[in-house]
């Protein structure tokens, strides 16, 4: 699902940069991480290494086994990332996310919630998570340091089965 994203971005290290506006970031996140098909103008993103992420982001992302990360051109710092992890019972095997120090948290969280659940609820905390066991992911809006983060944690097959079983027991 997110494989098409990688192909689109690898060719976009063109120095004639096109900026990505902060208001576009929630839509870019949804296209990249939920739909697997992001489209950016040439030069609007530059591939970087995991170590190039600010420390406050790296700390929360653990130790991926592979990472594809792009710094988005625009005001402030914004990163789109696709990370793979060694799968086990407690680890999501793949994470796709977008972190920005210029994105408006409330607008971004509402956008993702509307996409994932079809409605917007009042938020009382700076971290909101929506589980979609049927589709096999949890979506997350949170903050870390100066960054606002939108992220999809893809569930392993065993996590997905466990979540579906738990949800069916509730209903």
pLDDT tens over the chain, length 171 residues: 444 344 344 333 443 446 889 999 999 999 999 999 887 788 899 999 999 999 999 998 999 999 999 999 988 999 999 999 987 777 789 999 999 999 999 999 999 999 999 999 888 788 999 988 888 899 999 999 999 999 999 988 888 888 778 777 876
**pTM recorded for the entire structure:** 0.84
* 106-113: long-range pairs with CB below 8 Å, 24+: 107/23, 107/26, 108/25, 108/26, 108/29, 108/141, 108/148, 108/150, 109/141, 109/150, 111/26, 111/27, 111/30, 112/26, 112/29, 112/30, 112/139, 112/141, 112/150, 113/141
């Amino acid at each position: 699902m997110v494989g098409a994203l990688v192909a689109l971005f690898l060719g976009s290290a063109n120095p004639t940069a096109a900026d990505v506006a902060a208001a576009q970031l929630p839509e870019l996140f949804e296209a990249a991480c939920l739909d697997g098909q992001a489209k950016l103008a040439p030069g609007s993103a530059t591939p970087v290494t995991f170590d190039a992420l600010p420390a406050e982001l790296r700390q929360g992302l653990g130790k991926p086994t592979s990472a594809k990360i792009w710094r988005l051109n625009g005001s402030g710092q914004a990163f789109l990332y696709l990370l793979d992890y060694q799968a086990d019972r407690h680890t999501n095997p793949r994470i796709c996310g977008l972190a920005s120090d210029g994105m408006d948290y409330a607008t971004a969280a509402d956008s993702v919630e509307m996409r994932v659940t079809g409605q917007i609820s009042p938020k009382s905390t700076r971290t909101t998570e929506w589980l979609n066991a049927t589709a096999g992911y949890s979506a997350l809006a949170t903050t870390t340091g100066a960054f606002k983060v939108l992220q999809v944690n893809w569930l392993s097959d065993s996590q997905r089965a466990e979540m579906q079983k738990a949800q069916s027991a509730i209903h």
